Structure formats: structure tokens, C-alpha cells
A and B are shown apart, each in its own frame.
Chain A
Amino acid sequence: MSFTIFRVVLTSVALVTASLVSAQSFAHHSFAAEFDINQPFEVTGSVTLIKWTNPHARLYIDVEDENGEIVSYDFELTSPNILMRRGWSRNDLQPGDRVRVSGHRARSRATVGRATGISRENGEVVFVGGPGGGAGSDN
């Protein structure tokens, strides 16, 4: 492979990698009205549904609580438009996948949150997010 093509490939790989790990931006800004930055929380459960819709993709998971009861959680993600620009697709998570989700709790509902980080049980990051609402943690 010529040196020029090699350099372009290397640059392309670096760009794709950078876009996947950089923080999420948000569309439809309503974080402060809906979520509490002072209530971070984390749950682990099984995906039941992904809604790949605007203004926010939504991730629904079933979590087993300490009593063995199943509780359904509804997590708000960023716009699918922004997820797709980061390299994610609607097929990256499937019903039944086990995930750990961290985020901030809604002010009015304990089982609703704005997700800031989603990872599989093996630690692989999915739909990486930035803290809080608004447009992600760019500097």
C-alpha cells in the first residue's frame, strides 16, 4: 500500500474512533426542567425496547430490584441524528441485551432518567453520553 493511501487510512480510522468516543450532544434541550443534575444513578438490566425517534431516542430496560421484582426504566438519549453521526445505529442494542446505564433521574419519576453512559456487561461502551442536558460536554 502506498504511503499516501496508508496515511489517509490511518487518518480516517483515527477520525472514526475519535467521533465514537467523544461526548454526546443533545438536541431538544429540556434537561433542567425534566431531570435533576443532583440525582445521578445507575442501573443494570435487560433491554426491552429501543425507540429510534426524535427528539430523543429512548432506551427501555427491565431491572431486577433487591426483592427480585422487575422494574421498567425509561431512559432518554440524544437524537438519533446525533447518535448516527457518532457512528451508532438502531441495531447496536437488541432486546435482551444486558446493559449498565448511568444517568440523572427525572424530577418527577424515579424510573425515568437521562442517560449519560451505557455499557455492556463486558464493559464495551454503547451510545456514550455527556453529563447533564444541553449539547454535550464539548469544551
Chain B
Amino acid sequence: MQTTLHAAGLIVFLSAMSGPLSAQWPAFPTPGVPLTSDGEPDLEGPVPRTADGKPDLSGIWERVNGQRGPVEGQLGRGPKVSPPPGSPPVAHFFDIGAQTDVPYTPWADEITEQRMADNARGNPDAYCLPIGHMLYHLHPQPRKIIQTPDVIVILYESNSGVRQIFTDGRSLPDNDALPWWFGYSIGRWEGDTLIVETSGFRDDVWLDYNGSPLTSSGKIIERFHRTKYGTLEIDITIEDPMAYTEPFTVRVNQRIMLNTNLYEFVCLENEVSSRYFYESEE
């Protein structure tokens, strides 16, 4: 009887969430979701594990509120907000330093100021290009983590982002001919935390919409920690002697999305905004 009630409740829930009858996306239930005694998804429930005993990061994840930036959509580095208790500074989509003083080198500080003064016209997102680790982590569109023993793949709905994190024990290459939009990532587990190192970046990576830079001398260390069924915390340490006088660490918070999937997003199918950027100078 309880199972029947749960099933009925789930069907009603899914029917409601699928939107009006004219909506095009069929809802398909996420398998293996822990339920509360009321038959609702238990987002505080236990973290699922893979066959080899590791936390399973697989799932569709969305950005938690409070990590966007200024409501008015203005660029700039505003007054610092204190991090939540017990948390590293939380990064914002607009400003990686929303909750911390970023240790810019004079060169990086000037580059960021120039980019803001130019209304972020050079932001790769504006041209449908890959947007780099931080902007992908903090983008309002979801991402899908697919975990296998040898590689963890992250598919980003925005701008066709694809990251591969190799967990087969390889080292970072030191002879890449090509600087990468996504960098080259290797990962290893320390307890229940996935430590990811990425290097081999291009010189023109943007770490936020303001334009905080990352160069080919940069390295990013990420610590992925799924703390509960529905919660993913990602601590990101930025190292780049060209741009920052010392490494600094920020956090991104994500939450599971259920009974859904990534939509197709072909950014270039009707990108007309960029033609207006330059007209304003005439």
C-alpha cells in the first residue's frame, strides 16, 4: 500500500513538473532516488556509491542560488560579502572575488579593469565559445556528471562544454602542443573527495564575467565533495603566478536536479548579439 501511494505520488509529482500539455520534454524519473517516509525525494539522504566503493558524483547538477552576482547585471567588484560560516569564500558568476580579496598581480588587475570598462565584450560566452572552469561551474544552465572508473565526464548544457577528468592514474602531460580551452584534467580520490588537477590552459581564460584572467601558466585544483544525496560542494584553488601573487581558494555549491535531462543548446544557431556590440562604436 505504501509503495502504491509512493508510486501514485511520484506520478502526480512528475505530471505536475512536466508543465503544460504542449511542453515538449517528457519527464523521465531519475532512478534510485532515496525517498523520505512521505514518499518525497530525500535530498539529505545518503550519497550513492559506485561498485568500487567511491562516492558517485553522477547526476544532473544546478547552481545553487546566491552565486550569480549583482542583480542589476552590472559588472564590477562590489563590497565584499562574508562567506557563510564554515565555508570558504563562495565565488560568483560575475566576480570570483565576491567574498574574498583576490590577490591580483598588477598585470591581472589592469586586464580585469580593462575588460570591465569594455563591458565584458571579450567574454567568450558572448561568442558561444567555451567559457572555462569557473563560468561552467557557475553557469545557470545545468551540467551532467557521468562517472566511470577510468574517467569522469562532465557535459555542460551551455556552449557544448565537455570536460574529461582522467582517473586512471595518469600524470599531467608536459608536452602538449595545443593549449586547451578546457585544460587537461586528472583526478584521484582522497577519502570521499575527488581531487582534480588541471593545466595546459590557453592564455585568455576568463574566471568570471568581470574578466579575472587565467593564463597558460595557470593551474586549477578542484575538490569535489558530494556531502549528501542532493549536495555537491566544489572547492577550487587557482594558481597562476602571472595573474595572482599567491594561490586562492573559492567554493561553488551545486544541487541535484531530478527527473530531467540536458536540453540541446546550439549557441551559434541564432547568435545575433555580437553584431550589436560593435555598432555602438559607430
Where the two chains meet, the residues of A that have a C-beta atom closer than 8 Å to any C-beta of B are 2, 4-5, 7-9, 11-13, 15-16, 25-34, 37, 51, 53-56, 58, 76, 79-82, 84-85, 87, 89, 91, 106-109, 112, 130-139
Contacts and interface: CB of A to CB of B under 8 A. Distances in A.
21 contacts: A4-B9, A8-B38, A8-B39, A29-B126, A30-B120, A32-B75, A33-B277, A34-B276, A37-B74, A53-B270, A55-B267, A76-B273, A81-B141, A81-B157, A81-B265, A84-B24, A87-B20, A131-B73, A134-B93, A136-B140, A139-B65
Given A109-B279, A139-B65, A84 B23 contact: yes
B121 A33 contact: yes
Contacts of A84: 19, 23-25, 263
Nearest to B69: A134
A108 B280 contact: yes
B195 to A, nearest CB: 28
A57 to B, nearest CB: 9
Contact of B9 (A8, A26, A29, A56): A8
Contacts of A55: 128, 265, 267, 270-271, 273
- Chain B contact surface mostly: loop
B140 A135 contact: yes
Given A11-B40, A34-B276, A56 B140 contact: no
Nearest to A138: B65
B273 A137 contact: no
Contact of B126 (A5, A7, A30, A109): A30
Given A12-B17, A54-B270, A134-B209, A31 B140 contact: no
Interface residues of B, number: 62
Contacts of B74: 32, 37, 132
A56 B159 CA distance: 13
B156 to A, nearest CB: 11
B25 A30 contact: no
Nearest to A26: B140
B99 to A, nearest CB: 15
B273 to A, nearest CB: 5
A27 B265 contact: yes
A87 B260 CA distance: 13
4 tightest A-B CB contacts, nearest first: A132-B73, A12-B16, A25-B140, A8-B9
Contact of B16 (A13, A80, A132, A138): A13
Given A4-B38, A33-B119, A33-B121, 11 more contacts: A5-B9, A16-B16, A29-B120, A30-B126, A31-B73, A32-B73, A34-B276, A53-B270, A84-B19, A106-B276, A130-B71
